Amino acid sequence: MARGKIQIKRIENQTNRQVTYSKRRNGLFKKAHELTVLCDARVSIIMFSSSNKLHEYISPNTTTKEIVDLYQTISDVDVWATQYERMQETKRKLLETNRNLRTQIKQRLGECLDELDIQELRRLEDEMENTFKLVRERKFKSLGNQIETTKKKNKSQQDIQKNLIHELELRAEDPHYGLVDNGGDYDSVLGYQIEGSRAYALRFHQNHHHYYPNHGLHAPSASDIITFHLLE
């Protein structure tokens, strides 16, 4: 058990104070529990340490709210009266702030102006003009950012397109080989008449015409020439 009497005054050493708090708190809760068991008592203990940490004991046969309510009934005290008044005052102040904020907003939207005199209206006008400039500047900056972003996207798209076109051009320029018709010029046709006393060398120039030996006799000029010489 304890080792020597201690003076009941604030413990200055913080560590000792905390240790003592912890030990005595547990002791207090233990004794509260004993009282509950031995004597059918109902006990509520609520403790806050110097650092505002919460610890509580509540007898198992009841609840904290039950004890608090019963306490208020028996002592005829409203423990919340002070809190309630404080909250009502807080609410009043909040509502006033709310009203002020709403009025200021409405005035900047051009409403609730009857309360203002000509000087106040001028000041409000000046402030709003400044705000208008600020917002417009910001809008243009934002717009500029968007334009810049769009331009970059556009350039990116154009680069992709250019690459694709270039690739297509490369494919189009590849040489492919096939038959080339050079016009079908035939240089000469030689004919000899061996049986006659005279031999003739005949040369035809028939550009842009195909010469078909099997049908040569049907060609008008060729046919005439040949016939003439053969008859002679």
Partner 1 sequence: MGRGKIEIKRIENANNRVVTFSKRRNGLVKKAKEITVLCDAKVALIIFASNGKMIDYCCPSMDLGAMLDQYQKLSGKKLWDAKHENLSNEIDRIKKENDSLQLELRHLKGEDIQSLNLKNLMAVEHAIEHGLDKVRDHQMEILISKRRNEKMMAEEQRQLTFQLQQQEMAIASNARGMMMRDHDGQFGYRVQPIQPNLQEKIMSLVID
Give residues 96-125 in contact with partner 1 (rule: CB under 8 A). Answer: 97-98, 101-102, 104-105, 107-111, 113, 118, 121-122, 124-125
Residue 57's nearest CA partner among 24, 81, 16 is 24
Q: Six-digit token pair at 36?
A: 């509950």
Does position 147 interact with partner 1 (CB under 8 A)? The reply is no
Residues 155-214 touching partner 1, rule: CB under 8 A, are: none
Task: Output 18 or 206, the one with its CB closest to partner 1.
Answer: 18
Does position 148 interact with partner 1 (CB under 8 A)? The reply is no
Kindly indicate which of the ranges 15-23, 157-165, 187-195, 207-215 contains the residues binding partner 1, using the contact rule CB under 8 A. Answer: 15-23
- Residue identified by tokens 């905390």 is 18
Does position 71 interact with partner 1 (CB under 8 A)? The reply is yes
- Residue identified by tokens 């690459």 is 163
Does position 134 interact with partner 1 (CB under 8 A)? The reply is yes
Query: Phi/psi of residue 58, each to 5°?
Result: -135, 130
Q: How many residues bind partner 1 (CB under 8 A)?
A: 86
Task: Please say whether the beta carbons of 106 and 124 come within 8 A.
Answer: no
Task: Output 45 or 219, the one with its CB closest to partner 1.
Answer: 45
Kindly indicate which of the ranges 35-43, 181-189, 191-199, 209-217 contains the residues binding partner 1, using the contact rule CB under 8 A. Answer: 35-43
Task: Please say whether the beta carbons of 190 and 202 come within 8 A.
Answer: yes
Task: Please say whether the beta carbons of 138 and 130 come within 8 A.
Answer: no
Task: Output 39 or 179, the one with its CB closest to partner 1.
Answer: 39
Task: Output 133 or 209, the one with its CB closest to partner 1.
Answer: 133
| 3-class secondary structure, 30 | helix
- Residue identified by tokens 């005199």 is 117
Task: Output 43 or 222, the one with its CB closest to partner 1.
Answer: 43
Task: Please say whether the beta carbons of 23 and 3 come within 8 A.
Answer: no
